[in-house]
Structure 1
Amino acid sequence: MRDFSRDHEWLSINTATIRKQQGAEVPLDRLIDQCAAQGIRAISPWRDQVAAVGLDRIAQQLRALDIGLSGYCRGGFFPAPDAAGLKAALEDNRRAIDEAKTLNAPCLVLVVGALPGALDGKVHYKDIARARSEVRDGIAASLDHAREVGMPLAIEPLHPMQAADRACVNTLEQALDLCDELDPQRTGMLGVALDIYHVWWDPKLQQQIARAGRQRLLAYHVCDWLTPTRDLLNDRGMMGDGVVELRKIRGWVEQAGFAGYSEVEIFSALDWWQRPGAETLATCIERHRSVV
């Protein structure tokens, strides 16, 4: 297992972690400068943050600072109530793939979606099997364009608490079943983004990480699970502040062949988003060295 204690060469910051500082939204170009100032060499930005500043401008800034990506957030949200909605989702994912390519991302992370309208409290249908079928078909269709441009897709299984509104793929096993069906040759174009917050509890986690192997493990996200958790979406913990066996799980991931970045992704409305960005980044670096 790699030794992270001496430096933070393999630390990446998902920009959600610092997108709010002292309660205020901070633009992506400023976030990138903050990461560069701390010697952080990789990030994973969100599409809305990129769009707010401009795709070409962000690409130029990343090149100038020699900062790479560990992933690009996000594609997905395939299910829809009608044919027009399904078509719109595919068109949006095609744009996301092209954006990821422009930014030279190693993968586009897919939060696949669930029951249409659930996020707004107006569910169009309740058939989760239908949603999963539309996810399968949406990934299959998007994979064609991904292969054309050379942009791997990474399915991110989300905790079952989000099965209705954000992702109806909820275990690593489910995600890998889709990978095996749609990419049986294990070409490297379809895999998973393993987010500890969503999968740490899974009794099959070690087995499924081994099953994934190097070809399927495209991204690795870290944070911690707090007890008690005050908000299931926006109260992720800083590594070491919760109950997840982070070092043990990274051992499983690296034993399976993963040798990429540990990407810190923390949504924290009540804690870290209330702090200065420099403080949050410094803590990420210290915890990456001591507990990840």
Structure 2
Amino acid sequence: MQLTKSFWFGVGIGVLGVVLFSSKAVMVKLAYSYQVDAISILLLRMLFSFPFYVIIAYLYRNSSNKVVVGRQDYFWVVFFGFVGYYLASYFDFVGLTYIKASLERIILFLYPTIVILLNKIFLKHPITKIQIGAIGLTYLGVVISFWDEVAIHGSHIYLGGFFILLSAITYASYLVGSGWLIPKFGVMKFTAFAMIVSCICVFIHYSVVSEISLFSFSWEVYFLGFLIAIFATVIPSFLVSASIKIISSSNFAILAGIGPISTIILAAIFLNEVLTLLQFFGAIVVIVGILLISLIKKK
């Protein structure tokens, strides 16, 4: 395949999108230093990003892929918006209250393996022996990193890891289940609809459980909420979609391997987080395993 300028442009915006997505955990941890809870910072993220997705939904309201969209399809959009963006985000933000950002990204990076397992269980897709080996390798890497973290900081790390794993599972469920809906709605319309559902779920959640006034946070918390919404949510979602369109999802899956490394570097710079040599080795093992899976799928 000849590598054209457009291909390298797709690679460039894909890398930028992955790095911006990776910054989310770091900014959430920074917000927690101002004594804000998980649902509050998640609310600010959704509050600032909500208008952008409403505009996108409006602009693409008449777009059609010449496929009949039924009432049941909209029900599934609501369901997957609830599972894939609301629950996954909430579990992620709660998990980050217990574990460091770099470890969070390592665990979240398991979602491609969960997609393969869910496809096997529910859609009867075969799994090759090489894929089984690659999946085992990724989980070995997580165990190595996680075990060392527990030894250093105590058993509460288990709870954080559990919530992050729930986030990975719910996001993988969204990817598996929504695959048949995206061709009907189109990527932009489906993403906008699902995000709007997620935002509404967060608004309801906050109004029911939180006793904290929306106007009681320091300006740093609002600023970080804005950065998370725009630079770690809205902009990278478009960059990633554009990159996938240019270079294909298989090539982008390989680019995604820089995500954990990016988070580790950003966490070291802004949070003074340091991985032990054993944890860094575990992270490399996870990345190698996911890249093997991506290369196998591409082949």
The TM tier, using the shorter chain, reads under 0.3
| Larger of the two Rg values belongs to structure | 2
TM-score normalised over the length of structure 2: 0.24
TM-score normalised over the length of structure 1: 0.24
Task: Pick the structure with more helix per residue.
Answer: 2
